[in-house]
Amino acid sequence: MSARRRPSSAAKKRASSAADWLVEIGTEEMPAAYLTGTLEQLRQEAERICADAHLEHGAVETAGTPRRLMLRVADMAPVQRNPAEEIRGPSKQASFDATGQPTEALKGFLRGRGGALSQTKTVSTDKGDYVYLVKPERLSPTKQVLPELVVQLINRLRFPKTMRWDASGLRFARPIRWLVVFYGTQSLRVSLGTIRSGTHTRVGRPQRLRTMSIVGASMYEPTLVKQGIILDLSKRRARIQALITKLAREQGGVVAPEMVDHGLLDEVTALVEQPIAIGGTFDQRYLQLPREVLLASMAKHQRVFAVQDGAGRLLARFVAILDGKPGKPALVRNVIEHILNARLADSMLFLEQDLKQPFAEGKNLAGVTFHEKLGSMADKTQRQQQLAAPLADAWRLTDAERSRLNRAVLLAKHDLVTTMVREFPTLQGIVGKHYALRSGEPREVAEALAEQYLPAAGKRPSTLIGNALALLDKYDTMTSYFGIGIEPTGDQDPFGLRRAAQGIVEIIGGVRRALPLSPLFAARKASAPFAAMPAEQSARTEARIRMYLFERLYTFDWPVPAPSRDLIDAVLASRPDDLFDAIERIQALHALGDGPALLRAAKVVERTHNILKSAKSPAIEPDQAKLQEAPERKLWELYTAHREPLADLIGRRSYQDATARYGEVFFAPLNDFFDQVMVNVPDEALRQNRLALMRAINTLYTVPVADLSKLTILQQSASSA
């Protein structure tokens, strides 16, 4: 790695006789999803191997197609310099016998390290005298070193799944069929499993590969380019994008954006090495199918690109990318069209069958299991119906909005028993939306159905009812699983509960509406599995759920710059009930930055907190009659004067103003108090009263807003205050 940045004198010296190292690993078709990662691994491992082997080199490059992985290390020095080294052997005592002859222990050590007795010396260390083997710098020709490194390199590549394919037991993502290794113009002999490297690569279309000779490292890429192979991934991607854009335009449209966004372009880039594009059409009447169904049929089942018009409406057209030019392009187009039409005809049958009755009717959700201990989708729907009311209250929904939400909850899982979702499981929710619209359900209800599984892939629900439904779905799922003792642990989260909890927090952060957890759980615990649970266990689970939800604030997608962890700690320490209130408090305090307002308030909290921390005192109201000194009478006065206005500010969630005011009011008088008044006096009654005053001032802020004693700015400013 560092070799690249060596001083230029070394580079010049190297350049005179340096040569490129080229490796081509020829495989049967590698999985498309592996290609990018494998090329990156290959590059990193090559850098590492060169560094470990003390081989000086220039740029390291990798490229690949479904059938080949290429590594090229530029300007590799012709000689490997293994630096001199001293290796510690056995102790002197163990190395030589009474007559001064070397023992078996020493001889064994030298044999193992390839050294001679004449190369040893004795060194005194703090642990005693030891025999050291002194090996001088060794030079080896690079071309002799490389073959072994090729084997190491290939063995180091890791894949999600590997296979064996012959008696050698060699493992790789797919069978390796050939190997080309050059150092400059010299072909190197490498044995890997049953494979012997050679000078021939394989080119052509997958149905008829032929061998082609490579004359040296520098001729590798030009030879392949001449065969129409685009080796580099990003170049190939750009080429395919240009091809599909051009053909879509010729067909009067543009490529549907989902094709690029959802990875089809990347996938196709990894599926071909000589991209050729052809356009085609399908039967107009299939445009009645939901867009997502058309896209899934084209992208997932046939890997062809959908085309839409300027207004974003799909056209009955597609663009396919082929690997190399077929003998009969028109025939290929014709076949793809027929296959696509047949698939879409199948989907049309599903559509007709599913719409034989209105979407709201005849759906047997009791037959679809949610979880064996948690009942069916009918049960889940019922639970979500019960939760809709407290959520609607918290969000202050209008009567019209409430009825839309209730309708959406009722219909949410209906599409799970349609033939279309059975065929395209990933389109759950989306199919529901289309069917709801076709059955005359209100648009808000239909949109909500499509949005119920969001947030996903960075997309949040956009409608109010969609947000509400998505939240209910996740809240029910999360509480249900927690209720039967299933919680995410470490990276184990088979039921997606972490994602559900995170989704709830993202939804609340997005819609900026209240989510008081107590009333919601009060509604939740009326049904299974909580209904049959002892009250104590139910309360314990509620606490777990609450904690788990609030902890998601640490990984919430905050606007940048994100609030620091200690700020979130401070707000959570005040045990908010409403998730959105917590978000507002964090954002308000965060907006104060590390300015004086926040710091002053934090100081007040910290000083009162510290004095209370070490004291045992019952929570009592301060007794005005026992306030003797002027500074404590002053504090009491301020406390009584500002208690109400502060509570009022907090009640209106003016957390910035409340914080500023709290600091402003108490900071200086509290300093005076600590300067002039002793809290821990021998008179127990007096001491208790002063502690009570401290508690009153502390909790005035920390209970309803945040325990600012958790803030790290206090440590940074310890000296300046």
Partner 1 sequence: MTFQRLIRTLDMFWERQGCAIIQPYDIEMGAGTFHPATFFGALGPSTQRVAYVQPSRRPTDGRYAQNPLRMQRYYQYQVIMKPATDNMQQLYLDSLRAVGIKVEDHDVRFVQDDWESPTLGAWGLGWEVWIDSLEVTQFTYFQQVGGIDLPVIPCEITYGLERVAMFANGLHDLYQLPWDAHRSYGDLHIGPEKQGSAYNFEHADIDLYRTLFEQHERESMALLGRQLPLPAYEQLLKCSHAFNMLDARGAISQSDRPRLVLRIRKLAKECAESYLALQQSEAAEAEPAKAA
Tell me which residues in 63-82 interact with partner 1 (CB under 8 A).
66
| 352 near partner 1, judged by CB under 8 A | no
Q: What residues contact residue 26 under an 8 Å CB cut-off, 6+ apart?
A: 67, 68, 176, 177, 178, 179, 180, 201, 202
The piece of 344-352, 504-512, 580-588, 702-710 that touches partner 1 (CB under 8 A) is 344-352
In the shown chain, the binding pattern of residues 538 to 577 toward partner 1, with x for contact by CB under 8 A and - for none, equals ----------------------------------------
The single residue among 10, 242, 335, 400 that binds partner 1, judged by CB under 8 A, is: 335
The single residue among 69, 233, 320, 497 that binds partner 1, judged by CB under 8 A, is: 320
278: part of which helix (H) or strand (E)? Answer: strand 275-281
Beta bridge partners of 318: 280, 306
Q: What is the nearest approach in angstroms of partner 1 to the Cβ of residue 27?
A: 11
The answer to whether 475 and 395 have CB atoms below 8 angstroms apart is: no
Q: What is the nearest approach in angstroms of partner 1 to the Cβ of residue 188?
A: 22
The piece of 221-229, 322-330, 444-452, 670-678 that touches partner 1 (CB under 8 A) is 322-330
| 339 near partner 1, judged by CB under 8 A | yes
The single residue among 345, 647, 668, 685 that binds partner 1, judged by CB under 8 A, is: 345
The answer to whether 296 and 426 have CB atoms below 8 angstroms apart is: yes
The single residue among 332, 410, 523, 677 that binds partner 1, judged by CB under 8 A, is: 332
Tell me which residues in 29-68 interact with partner 1 (CB under 8 A).
29-33, 66
Q: What is the nearest approach in angstroms of partner 1 to the Cβ of residue 421?
A: 13
- Give the residue with the Cβ less far from partner 1, 333 or 585: 333
Residue type, 507: I
Tell me which residues in 262-291 interact with partner 1 (CB under 8 A).
271-272
d(CA 406, CA 480): 20
The answer to whether 506 and 422 have CB atoms below 8 angstroms apart is: no
Work out the number of other CB atoms within 10 angstroms of the CB of residue 524: 23
Using DSSP, state whether 458 is helix, strand or coil. coil
Residue 302: which of 324, 280, 329, 275 has the closest Cα? 280
Using DSSP, state whether 337 is helix, strand or coil. helix
- Give the residue with the Cβ less far from partner 1, 288 or 341: 341
Residue type, 59: A
69: part of which helix (H) or strand (E)? Answer: strand 68-76
The single residue among 135, 303, 438, 544 that binds partner 1, judged by CB under 8 A, is: 303
- Give the residue with the Cβ less far from partner 1, 427 or 694: 427
The piece of 204-212, 445-453, 546-554, 630-638 that touches partner 1 (CB under 8 A) is 204-212
Residue 535, token pair as written in the block? 């009250």
Q: What is the nearest approach in angstroms of partner 1 to the Cβ of residue 6?
A: 41
The answer to whether 609 and 698 have CB atoms below 8 angstroms apart is: yes
Q: What is the nearest approach in angstroms of partner 1 to the Cβ of residue 346?
A: 6
The single residue among 322, 355, 562, 714 that binds partner 1, judged by CB under 8 A, is: 322
Residue 449: which of 477, 434, 458, 438 has the closest Cα? 434
Rounded to 5 degrees, φ, ψ at 496 are: 65, 35
The single residue among 5, 161, 459, 616 that binds partner 1, judged by CB under 8 A, is: 161
Q: What is the nearest approach in angstroms of partner 1 to the Cβ of residue 316?
A: 17
Burial of 385 (0-12, 13-18, 19+ CB in 10 A): middle
| 494 near partner 1, judged by CB under 8 A | no
Q: What residues contact residue 613 under an 8 Å CB cut-off, 6+ apart?
A: none
Beta strands of 310-440 (E only): which ranges?
Answer: 314-323, 369-371, 375-376
The piece of 46-54, 364-372, 532-540, 572-580 that touches partner 1 (CB under 8 A) is 364-372
The piece of 224-232, 363-371, 393-401, 519-527 that touches partner 1 (CB under 8 A) is 363-371
SS (H, E, C) 113-155: HCCCHHHEEEEEECCEEEEEEEECCEEEEHHHHHHHHHHHHHH
The single residue among 226, 328, 443, 565 that binds partner 1, judged by CB under 8 A, is: 328
The single residue among 96, 165, 558, 674 that binds partner 1, judged by CB under 8 A, is: 165
The piece of 170-178, 437-445, 447-455, 581-589 that touches partner 1 (CB under 8 A) is 170-178
Q: What is the nearest approach in angstroms of partner 1 to the Cβ of residue 371?
A: 7
Give the alpha-carbon dihedral of 631, 636, 637, 641, to 10 degrees. Answer: 140
In the shown chain, the binding pattern of residues 397 to 436 toward partner 1, with x for contact by CB under 8 A and - for none, equals ----------------------------------------
The answer to whether 567 and 712 have CB atoms below 8 angstroms apart is: no
Residue type, 693: L
SS (H, E, C) 561-587: CCCCHHHHHHHHHCCCCEHHHHHHHHH
Number of residues that bind partner 1 (CB under 8 A): 51
The single residue among 194, 518, 624, 680 that binds partner 1, judged by CB under 8 A, is: 194
Q: Which residues bind partner 1 (CB under 8 A)?
A: 28-33, 66, 161, 163-167, 173-175, 177, 194, 205-208, 271-272, 302-304, 320, 322-324, 326-328, 331-332, 335-336, 338-340, 342-343, 345-346, 349, 367-369, 371-372
